[in-house]
Structure 1
Amino acid sequence: MTLAWYGHLKHAHTRAWYVAAIASWTIAFFEYMMQVPANRIGYTVFSLPQLKIMQEVITLSVFVPFSIWYMGQPLKMDHLYAGLCLLGAVYFTFRG
């Protein structure tokens, strides 16, 4: 999903926006085809807030390396602080 939403910024910035949108939607379609059943199955075990927090942690666990290595963005201490906040969100969402 990260590549679908942000990859065009690196590779298709000279193309019309609708070309990037169609390419992104094509890539994203396949992830949605997996995510919808996964959410339905996960909802039998986890609460809705737990599913959302897991989704955000997974997304950012992929996004940070993507932004650094693929897109060439600098790593900042704020990324570490944001990660610590996410750990707090996971703790409070999953605690008994």
Structure 2
Amino acid sequence: MKKLSVIIPTFNEENYIEKAIRSVRFADEIIVVDSFSSDKTVDIAKKSNCTVIQRQFDNFSNQKNFALQYATAEWVLFIDADERIPFALKQEILDVI
């Protein structure tokens, strides 16, 4: 079983998503739940080998809960597209899991 899934909700995040994805490359899987972006967000996520699912946005909780059903790991980390996981936090996460 995979250990860590990362879920990133997005909507028109082409300026941020690539750096967010790079910061969580240590995860076993990265799931992007996109609210039908009209920019290159989905293309960037797909090129980065993320699992991309799309769902019409109604609220953040529902977006995250929807994506959660696609996660296959024991642990799940939610981050926003404009967030980065610094090296020190990455090490702490890996130490715990």
**Fold shared, TM-score > 0.5 on shorter chain:** no
Q: Rg bigger for which structure? A: 1
Larger strand proportion of the pair: 2
TM-score normalised to the size of structure 2? Answer: 0.30
TM-score normalised to the size of structure 1? Answer: 0.31
Larger helix proportion of the pair: 1
